[in-house]
Structure formats: C-alpha cells, structure tokens
A and B are shown apart, each in its own frame.
Chain A
Amino acid sequence: MSVDARALHRRKVWRNVGRYTLLTVLAVIVLFPIYITIVNSLLPARDIFQQPPKFFPTDPQFGSYREAWNAGHMGNYLKNSIIVTVIITTGQVVTAILAGYAFAILEFPFKRLLFVVFLATLMVPFEVTIVTNVSTISNLGWYDTYAGLAVPFLATGFGAFLMRQAFLTLPRELRDAAALDGYGHWRFLWRVAVPLARPAVAALSVFAFLAAWNQYLWPLLITKDDRLRTVQIGLKQLQSVSIDQVNVTFAGAIIAVIPLVILLLFFQKHLVRGLTAGAVKG
C-alpha cells in the first residue's frame, strides 16, 4: 500500500471507530431504562436502588417474577390482554379487508363520501366517545366483559386505508381473468386478493396488535375488578400495591414487555412495510 492509501485507510478506521462509539453510546442511552429494570427486578429487596446503585445482579432472585405473576396477578392480566388484543386485531383486520376491497375494487354511489367518513374516524379523539360508550356498553350488558373491552374497536379507518392501498395495486388483468373464470367478488377477495396483499395484512395486524395491547383508558373505565384487567392498568395496580417492593413492580413491567418483544422479533419487517405504505404514499 502506498503511504497515501495507508493514511486514508487509517483515517477510515478512526472514522469507523468514532461512528461505532457514537452508535454504542446512543444505544446504551436508549436501552438503559430497560436494562436497569431487568437488573432491579432480579435484585434482592435490600439491594434495590442502593447508592451507589448496583448495575449487575450478582445474586439474581427470580422470586420477584413469581410474586408479580401470582400475587400481583400479572399472569391473569396478561391472559386478558392477549384475549382482548387478539379479538380486536382479528376484527380490525377482517373489517379492514372488507372495506378496503369495497373502496379499491368496487364502484358505488357515495364512495368518496364514505371514504372520507372512514378517514374522519381518525380525527375523533377517544375521550370524546368515552362517556357515551360507557353507557352504550352498559346498556348492552357488556360492562366488565370481553365484549365490552373489544367491540368498540373492531373497525379502523386506518386499516381500511391501508388495505385499499394494497388492493389498488392489484392489476386489472387479474380481476378480469378471475371474472372470466367465474370468480365472484367474494371468492376473488379471499382466494386471490388477500393472499396477494399478505404484506399489508401482516403490517395491519402488527399495528392493530400494538395499538390494542397499549390501550389504557378504555380498560380502566370498563372493567370492574381484577378479573378482566388488562396488562397496562394491571401494571399500574401492581405498582401501587407493591410500593415497597420495587423488584416486583419491575418484574411486572418486564412481564408486560416480553410478549411484544416476541411479536416484534418475528414481525419487525412487516411493521416497517406498513409504516412505509402510510408515510411514503402520504
């Protein structure tokens, strides 16, 4: 190597070291809260938040997880969250597929008006609906039930938008060929369109799952006691009850995080694709 090339190479190495350092520092900052939570969930009670703090559990105690799961009811909260979230996700995906197909493929009067109506739902903040929704749900007899937790959220304007985008990309020739083969709309939708739009369906599923999992205000209002509490408000409950047992509260927080971590490990790609569809297309 010539002298110049070597100098260039050295500069590049230093620049990369600098880059990696910056990236690592930032990653540490971003990950630190979760890391310290895991550490503290494993510390024995007397070690928690000592000054100076302990950054590594030399004697990990998994009892806090057991305590959070059983006495802290996190196991029950997790079960409720999973049930409700799956119901909502399924409902949203199905209604979005149906609506998206109608908007993308079919022609009918008031189509544009109805599409605006769908999008308008994104503008209505949830708080405007809570008072009436609580009484509607109570009148239907669904107060403190899985139905009450899930039904108001079974449709989504954003989902319809996403599926419409996906179905719009289907080539016309495909439709025409299917029609010639005797495929009615229903069969075309489920046998052809949906399988082809699988990335959008996956992205929507991830979105819907995240949003439903994160719900806080509605479960707070519509559940009566611990039986149907979901993980988010359950965690708040756990914190207030375990105020002197920080390790248990933190174990509960980690328990609440794990399902999402699993979901995202498998579906991160789809999340990205879904977001791209929304953002780049405007």
Chain B
Amino acid sequence: MAASGVTLTPARKRLRRREHGLAYLLLIPSLVIFGVFVFWPLVHNVYLGFFRNPPFPGLPSKYVGFDQYRDVLTSQTFVDSVKTTFLFAILTVPVGIALGLGLAILAHQKLRGIGVYRTFFSSTVATSVAVAAVIFGTLMNPQVGLLPWLGLTTNPAILQNPDWALIAVAVVTVWQTLGLTFILMAAGLQGVPDELFEAARVDGAGAWSRFWHVTLPMMSPTIFFAVVIGTIFALQSFGQIDILTQGGPLKKTNVLTYYIYDTLQRQSDPGKAAVLAVALFFFTLILALAQIRLLERRVSYER
C-alpha cells in the first residue's frame, strides 16, 4: 500500500493513521484476552515458582528464590515425569499419524460406497477424551471388562500394570484422535492430483513404490502439520490420565500435565506446580521449534 516514491499528502497521512487506529482497534479484543489469560500468566508463573506455599491459602508464602526451581527440577519424580511425557508422545503421535494415513489411503480408493467407510473412519471425532476414557476404562476393567473374553488378561490388570498402563492409555488416545487424524490425512490426500498417481502407475511403479515416491512427498506438508500439532496436543494430554490411571500405577503414567494438576489440586502446592508448568512450556517450545527446524527441510512444498 505504501509504495515507495509516493508522497504522503496530509490527507493520505490522516487516512493512514485512521487505518492504523482501526487495525489496533480490531486487534485489541484478542490482545486483551491473550494478555490477561495467556501472557501475563506465563510471566506470573515464573514468579510464582519463587515461593513456597502453605497447604492452603491464608498463611503466608515464603520467598525461596531459585531453590524451589532447583529442588523440583532435579527431583527424581520430575525426571521420571518428563521421560513418561516424551514416551507417551512417541507412543501416540507416530502411530496415530501412520494409522490415519493408512486408513486415508485405503479410503481414497474409487470404490462404490467408499463415502460410508470414510464416515466410519472419522466417527471417533465425535468422541471426546472423557468419553473415550470412560468407555475404554470400563472395557479394560478386569472384572466387568471385555479383555478376558478377548483373551488379553494380564496380572495385574492392564490399567494397574506398571508395564502396560502407559501403552493402554496411549491406545485410548490414538483411538480417540483417529477420526481427526483421518480427516486431516484424507483432506491432504484429496489435494494430491490423480494424474501423479496415474503417471506413476503407467511408469510401472508398484503400490509401495507409488506410496513412497508420490504419496509421501505430496503429503509431507500435511504430515508435517500433523506431527507438530499432534505433538503439542500429546504433551498436553490430561483428561484420559485423570480418568484412567490418575498418574499411576507407581507413577508410570505421571505425564507432566497430570503431575502439575496433582501438585496443584491434591497437594495444594501452587509454587511447585508453577515450576513444573514453566518446564512444560519450555519443553513444548523446544520440541515444536526443533520439529519445525528439522522436519520442514524435508517437506516439499512444490506443486
């Protein structure tokens, strides 16, 4: 709009300033919400970590500087929680994307009634984390669940089994997000022109080769998007842990978000929870930036 070389008459200047004013006016509602509920808490959270709090409000908080940061971030529970969080992300994101992509490819075939299958595969988008957790929690119950009938009994029961609990929660998560992942992958797949597939087939490329050399590269922006967003959401998983395992057994499903909630609500320790939240923020940020840096290179945006 301000092309170089155009002189600004007073009228134009006024117009420009009015436009600036309008722009800020349009942004203010969002910025106020962000300021009060996103950025201020982020800053304040760092500050909260400097205080050791009483078990309930009414008694004074004690300023301890970086001691609380040091104590919490070097504790074994914290280190284990970080490991669990990353393990959970690894268990859910690649599997979820692979399954979503696989189903999308299968549902991309030109068969009669394929739309029905597409609806079936996207159905889990109507479930929420709480619904999925309640359903699977009951299905996996050792007394009233379905697992004994399927022959999948473990001792102890799967959600109380330190070796299997995290995997069980991951399965629930993958199932619940499958619908959304499927829709995303299917949408991305629709953006791939059919001529490319045809050309490959004519060139004699087999199904696997077509996948590797046509589908995957053309889908790379979509997959990249799914990986980044999927990881952010995996790191923020909470509801299913709260319903299924409450961080147990033996803290084997104590992902960072649940650890923060447990510290805040059940141990009434906002100072410690603040430290953990700051750690979560940094992990999310670093992971997202790392993914963008490492993976974007391999994304081919050419059309």
Whole-angstrom CA separation of A214 from B132 in the bound complex: 11
Confirm or deny: B93 has a beta carbon within 8 angstroms of a beta carbon on chain A. Answer: no
What are 16 residue pairs bridging A and B, where the CB atoms are less than 8 Å apart in the complex?
Answer: A102-B22, A107-B1, A118-B34, A127-B276, A131-B45, A152-B37, A153-B37, A216-B242, A221-B265, A233-B130, A253-B135, A257-B126, A260-B126, A272-B187, A273-B187, A276-B188
B26 touches A217 (CB 8 A): no
Residues of chain B within 8 A (CB-CB) of A152 are: 33, 36-37
Main secondary structure of the interface of A (DSSP, over half): helix
Whole-angstrom CA separation of A81 from B45 in the bound complex: 29
Residues of chain A within 8 A (CB-CB) of B145 are: 49
A108 touches B128 (CB 8 A): no
A129 touches B225 (CB 8 A): no
Whole-angstrom CA separation of A108 from B23 in the bound complex: 7
Main secondary structure of the interface of B (DSSP, over half): helix
Residues of chain A within 8 A (CB-CB) of B264 are: 130-131
Segment at the B interface, from A32-40, A57-65, A192-200: A32-40
Chain B contact residue count (CB 8 A cutoff): 98
Given A49-B145, A253-B134, residue A282 in contact with residue B224 (CB < 8 A)? yes
Confirm or deny: A70 has a beta carbon within 8 angstroms of a beta carbon on chain B. Answer: no
Give the contacts of B1-46 with A (CB-CB under 8 A). 1-2, 16, 19-20, 22-24, 26-27, 29-34, 36-42, 44-45
Given contacts A236-B242, A260-B126, A271-B125, 15 further A-B contacts (CB under 8 A): A36-B139, A99-B29, A106-B23, A107-B23, A114-B27, A128-B277, A154-B33, A220-B242, A221-B265, A233-B130, A239-B138, A249-B138, A256-B128, A276-B190, A279-B221
Whole-angstrom CA separation of A183 from B188 in the bound complex: 38
Whole-angstrom CA separation of A256 from B22 in the bound complex: 42
Confirm or deny: B69 has a beta carbon within 8 angstroms of a beta carbon on chain A. Answer: no
Given A30-B121, A132-B44, A239-B243, residue A125 in contact with residue B33 (CB < 8 A)? no
B26 touches A280 (CB 8 A): no
Segment at the A interface, from B102-110, B160-168, B194-202: B102-110
Residues of chain A within 8 A (CB-CB) of B45 are: 128-129, 131-132
Given A131-B45, A279-B188, residue A34 in contact with residue B30 (CB < 8 A)? no
Residues of chain A within 8 A (CB-CB) of B226 are: 279
How many A-B residue pairs have C-beta atoms within 8 angstroms? Tell me: 274
B26 touches A101 (CB 8 A): yes
Given A109-B20, A125-B281, A239-B134, residue A261 in contact with residue B126 (CB < 8 A)? yes
A131 touches B274 (CB 8 A): yes
List the 8 closest pairs (A to B, CB-CB), nearest first.
Answer: A132-B41, A129-B41, A155-B33, A216-B239, A155-B30, A232-B130, A260-B126, A152-B37
B130 touches A51 (CB 8 A): no
Whole-angstrom CA separation of A183 from B39 in the bound complex: 36
Residues of chain B within 8 A (CB-CB) of A256 are: 128, 130-131
Confirm or deny: B236 has a beta carbon within 8 angstroms of a beta carbon on chain A. Answer: yes
Confirm or deny: A14 has a beta carbon within 8 angstroms of a beta carbon on chain B. Answer: no
Residues of chain A within 8 A (CB-CB) of B281 are: 123-125, 128
Residues of chain B within 8 A (CB-CB) of A102 are: 22-24, 26-27
Chain A contact residue count (CB 8 A cutoff): 91
1/0 per position for A123-166, CB-CB distance to B under 8 A? 11111111111001000000000000001111111001000000
The residues of B with any CB-CB pair to A shorter than 8 Å are: 1-2, 16, 19-20, 22-24, 26-27, 29-34, 36-42, 44-45, 48, 103, 106-107, 109, 111, 114, 117, 119-132, 134-139, 144-146, 148-149, 175, 178, 183-184, 186-188, 190-191, 221-222, 224-226, 232, 235-236, 238-239, 242-243, 256-257, 260-261, 264-265, 270, 273-274, 276-278, 280-281, 284-285, 288, 299, 301
Instruction: Give min CB distance, B264 to chain A, whole Å.
Output: 6
Whole-angstrom CA separation of A87 from B30 in the bound complex: 15
A239 touches B137 (CB 8 A): yes
1/0 per position for A197-234, CB-CB distance to B under 8 A? 00000000000001001101100110000000001110
Whole-angstrom CA separation of A272 from B123 in the bound complex: 13
Whole-angstrom CA separation of A31 from B123 in the bound complex: 8
B183 touches A272 (CB 8 A): yes
The residues of A with any CB-CB pair to B shorter than 8 Å are: 16, 19-20, 22-23, 26-27, 30-31, 33-34, 36-37, 48-49, 51-53, 94-96, 98-99, 101-102, 106-109, 111, 114, 117-118, 121-133, 136, 151-157, 160, 185-186, 210, 213-214, 216-217, 220-221, 231-233, 235-236, 239, 246, 249-250, 252-253, 256-257, 260-261, 264, 268, 271-273, 275-276, 278-282
Residues of chain A within 8 A (CB-CB) of B238 are: 127, 216-217
Whole-angstrom CA separation of A37 from B186 in the bound complex: 27
